[in-house]
Structure 1
Amino acid sequence: MPTDVDAGRSGLDLTDGWTRRWTVSWRAGGDDASCSVHDLVQEPVLTSDPMRRFTWRRDQRHRPGLQFLTSTGRHHGAESLKESRVLLALDFAGDVVDVVWQPLKISFVTCGKRRAHTPDYLAVTRRGVWLIDVRPEPLIKEADRESFAAAAEVAVACGWRYAVAARWREHAFAGLDAMASRRRLRSDPLGLRPVLLAEAGGGRRFGELAAATGCEPVARAQLLHLLWSRQLGVDLAGPLQDRSLVMPAKEAAGDRGGGAGPFPRRRAGAGRDGVDGRAPRTTPGPGAVGEGRRHPRADDLPVPGQPSAVPAVVTDVVGGG
């Protein structure tokens, strides 16, 4: 069941002029800056530095670290394993230009009090900008719901979309992690990739496709790389296993209604500029304040079981542990 982002809206001060009363602060080049939500769309927050840094201690209960994204060619910070999963899902989803960790702090008014909230990620994609919070569903309290609702209002005001990653589908990360293990596989000394792409025409089972090459162990690694890079498609609504149906990306997209589809074709290295693979820090033009979209429903949004642009608005994406 999706977590309702709107559940915390009741206590927010959203009366006329709220976009001028609420403020946002960020950090760039070591300097702090701030503005009202009304003026946020004119500010360079999409290229900001993290609002805070993480540290390690022996007794801490979460595990911070760095996650490398092939989409940006850089490491990005994560304060927990849950956040690392979100970064991996963003990397797989495609169309990611840049991801800013702890991008900004929102100061909002609720019941006569002023509170602050720092979302976890700002993801810039070629399909728009996403503001993302990460919080395991059992740990979400009423104050968190209020903070999430405030972040959603700011996102809508800026023409961005908002998501809370709270619970992964049980099988989703086993398949995603398997493909990620081969995402940086560069070489194909046995020339198996053209064979696999040709054999997949019309759809073949993963195990059959690997066995058809005569070099099954190596073919499995190459298959995972082709799936990660979206040259082949597979339905991740179920577990990734030998009987999973694999087909060329265009055919997979066509089976789901054409267009970009849930399996958009992505060339290896697509979306990167320069020899070091870094993505340019471009700033898609968000709409004017008040021109944002409605809060999306969970079924509006892509999830690892339905790969497309970014993980879903709260929810049915994240699993237990």
Structure 2
Amino acid sequence: MTSASAPATTILSSDLREKVTRTAHGWDGVAPDEHWAAEIRRLAEERDATILAHNYQVGPIQDIAHHVGDSLALSRIAASADTETIVFCGVHFMAETAKILSPDKTVLIPDAEAGCSLADSITEEQLRDWRSEHPGAVVVSYVNTTAAVKALTDVCCTSSNAVDVVASIDPDREVLFLPDQFLGAHVRRETGRENMYVWAGECHVHAGINGKQLSDQAEAHPGAELFVHPECGCATSALYLAGEGAVEEDKVKILSTGGMVDAARASGSSEVLVATEIGMIHQLRKAAPEIDFLAVNENASCPYMKMITPAALLRCLTDGADAVHVDPVTAEAARGSVERMIAIGNPGSGE
């Protein structure tokens, strides 16, 4: 019990923390009101923490964070932050990447069970076997992978620089691209590379945004721009619509999440259809409030991203949970693949 002489902020922290409960879907019990926001800000300062939020987080988490962006941009911000602690509001592989680039910092994730169906689509053992079937091949891994997979990777990539990374590789060498089949198809289409093999993995949320949904929305909103993430199953359909003249070619943009923010700020459209996880809409509306942003699939919500709740963030900052650890040997190998990607350029957009 809090003593009567304790500061009001401590009483508030105690009262809020007691409301936090664990449910089947994660941490709950706290509303993101002004009391919560004030306490998050106080606790972050007290813990010397920088709060990072991915573009797919719920609005209140994005609004309270010190920085919002795509996964790699946030990890690079983590590495340059002058705080001792990084709180990564995203999924586990993202927090791992921040730890890889910031080995001396404490990296926390508000819910350690926030995983990723795409990262889980290939294991370290599967990659070892695949590499053995293609000796001499260059392994290119999307950053949406575990630290163990990154450690077996020659060079990582993001959705914004995957084409540049693959184009930089000796054309006579085979390329093993993993784990996202839709991003891989986009890279193969853009580079024309025939000696590139693509792992059959996918993000279940992006794979669920299909071509029919996109064409139906494009028909219902003539003149709208299309922002399509290359992880989406509908990316090929977007290009087909442009090729058939159903949508003006210059209105179809295949973009990373960071690229979508940049494109929104530069757009002169009144309507934009967005094919990616729906959390992105919040950031786009902040970047360009004059545009009507519409989700191609309103149900494209990642349950793992949404595990980072206001209650989870409060618990994280109050209790110092959950700390992310990466084996030093694995981290060193993984760091090399990420740094080789950064050296190629355009590794991710920030806010």
TM-score tier (shorter)? under 0.3
TM-score norm. by structure 2 comes to 0.25
TM-score norm. by structure 1 comes to 0.26
Greater helix share, structure number: 2
